[in-house]
Chains A and B, each alone.
Chain A
Amino acid sequence: MFLNHVSSKISSYCHDALPPEEAARVSAHLEQCQRCRRRHAKTASIVELLGYLERIRAPVLLWDDIEMRRRRPAPLPVPETSTSAWLLRRRGPIAAVAALLVAMAALETLRVTNESPGGAGIFDELDLGAYLHPVQAASPAASYRALARAAPGFDSRERDDPLLASGLRSVPDASPLPGYHLQAQHIGSVGAHRVVQLIYGNGSEAFSVFVAPASVRFRFGSQSAFDTVVQGIRCVKVDCPMQQTYAFHEGNYQWVLVSKSLDQARAAIVMRYFIATHQREVDNDARQTRIFVR
């Protein structure tokens, strides 16, 4: 009797997207066919559940992020197709271009190093070596002073300076760690970007957090760095036993945490704090507590 089940039409039927005569046929079939009726009930409940999906408002600062990306220099052109056959046919020219690019990159690195030793260079690169070096072998008291000062090239601004004038839209009121307070904020320029240094202290220990757009590259003086995972957070650790310095990122922002005495557990708390601050903002939190650098 029911050779022509209507299961393939049920979604369209629920959406009222069938021509009238087709809808009438489905309706008549449903009255007689228990199997299709069950299917219709299931689909109707799913349609109702999918009604919970809603349009989400984009974060208000999205335009600023787009403007920031528009101001970046255009990347080198990349071939449109990338199949293995294409690569295989052109492996000779590609190898030559790659060698040329490597040579150019090496030349550029030398040029940056020569033009701006130890400081904020061109090409959106920031070398924290001059800031990190004194921290390495310092005593606890000396390291507190070393960490609490502005990094070379950064303007010194007191905490009470107007936030907008410093390029910092807002700073979270709460501290990343219990007992620590925001003591100072300093501003540095790296290419077209601003980098903010926040200093937190508890009277005997201090740590710095540098906040920068993702397009800024950090260097750490003579120290090398390696990828690692600290309590579930993917980050880069500066390879120095005398300090705890981690670079980590989220979306279009990145942070570098410089400390002398924070163990991994407390470093992870600080990292999570800044990542969560960023996520809270992009999740349309009305409090707008994101640190914004421009």
Chain B
Amino acid sequence: MFRAETGPTFESRQGEGCKGGREEEFRTLFEAYKDRVFSLAFHFTGDTPLALDITQEVFLKVLSGIGEFRGQSQFTTWLYRIAVNVCMDEFRRRRRFVPLAQATNRHLTSLGRPQEEALVRRQVRQAVQAAVVRLTPKLRFTVILRYVDGLSYEEIAAALGCSPSAVAARLNRSHRILARQLATLRRSTD
């Protein structure tokens, strides 16, 4: 599972560089975190163009607000908070997102050949993504930060502004809901 590849030194150096308004520093920071932000937005919305818009908005906010970053928390925590807020703004604006188009929770059959296995894997992934998009925003963010970004309960709590025990409760609830939604899939992949 993916873990943060950039330590505090990198983060503080990048943050300071951006505060100074250096274009190259911002570009480096963008390159380091763009996949993380885009993934969060995509898994939250299930919609690629919308995820692109959100990602752009997040980095524009980072650029305009980097002066307010005090370094009291990790840069990634600050970045996640901005990303979560932009996602929520978009969610409120649209009230709901269009679910992933081709994702269906259908019975899957593996025939064993490599291409077919890859196809089944892709179908499973799409079905899981679609189920995650149907969770409530709070549960969705928790699941994404845990499973896509591999954050610990404490890191998720810091990013979402809640306690680690709330993170545990949200994950527990998410698992229950997803177990119902993905029941067919669970049986077919067993």
Contact = CB atoms under 8 A, between A and B. Distances in A.
Interface string B138-160: 00000110111100110000000
Interface residues of A, number: 37
Interface stretch (B12-20, B74-82, B109-117, B124-132): B124-132
A284 B166 CA distance: 35
Interface in A48-75: 49-59, 62-63, 65-66, 69-70
B103 to A, nearest CB: 12
A63 B168 contact: no
Contacts of A101: none
A55 B147 contact: no
B48 A283 contact: yes
B172 interface: yes
B171 interface: yes
Interface in B51-93: 52-53, 55-56, 59-60, 63
Contact of A57 (B1, B35, B178, B179): B35
A50 B168 contact: no
Contact of B30 (A53, A66, A252): A66
B4 to A, nearest CB: 12
A250 B47 CA distance: 12
A251 interface: yes
Interface in A8-25: 8-12, 15, 17
B134 interface: no
A56 B52 contact: no
Given A65-B56, A70-B60, A56 B186 contact: no
B49 A250 contact: yes
A50 B129 CA distance: 9
B128 to A, nearest CB: 5
A218 B121 CA distance: 44
A62 B148 contact: no
Given A45-B190, A50-B178, A63-B27, A8 B172 contact: yes
Contacts of B43: 53, 56
B172 A45 contact: no
A262 interface: no
Interface string A109-142: 0000000000000000000000000000000000
A46 interface: yes
Contacts, number: 120
Contact of B59 (A17, A54, A66, A251): A66
Nearest to B37: A58
User: What DSSP secondary structure best describes chain B's contact surface?
Assistant: helix
B52 A49 contact: no
Contacts of A55: 2, 35-36, 39, 148-149
Contact of B38 (A8, A11, A62): A62
A53 B168 contact: no
A58 B168 contact: no
Contacts of A12: 153, 168, 171-172
A42 B128 CA distance: 15
Contact of B35 (A56, A70, A250): A56
B128 A43 contact: no
Contact of B129 (A17, A47, A53, A70): A53
Contacts of B172: 7-8, 10-12
B22 interface: no
Shortest 6 CB-CB distances between A and B: which pairs?
A: A251-B49, A58-B38, A11-B172, A58-B34, A52-B125, A50-B147
30 contacts: A8-B169, A11-B171, A17-B168, A42-B179, A42-B186, A45-B186, A46-B178, A46-B186, A50-B132, A50-B146, A51-B147, A53-B43, A53-B129, A53-B143, A53-B147, A54-B39, A55-B35, A56-B35, A57-B38, A58-B34, A59-B38, A62-B34, A62-B38, A65-B52, A66-B30, A250-B49, A251-B52, A251-B53, A252-B52, A283-B48
Interface of B: 1-2, 27, 30, 34-39, 42-43, 48-49, 52-53, 55-56, 59-60, 63, 121, 124-125, 128-129, 132, 143-144, 146-149, 152-153, 168-169, 171-172, 175, 178-179, 182, 185-186, 189-190
Interface of A: 7-12, 15, 17, 42-43, 45-47, 49-59, 62-63, 65-66, 69-70, 250-252, 278-279, 282-283
Given A42-B179, A53-B148, 11 more contacts: A12-B153, A43-B179, A50-B178, A52-B121, A53-B43, A54-B148, A57-B38, A58-B34, A69-B56, A251-B52, A252-B53
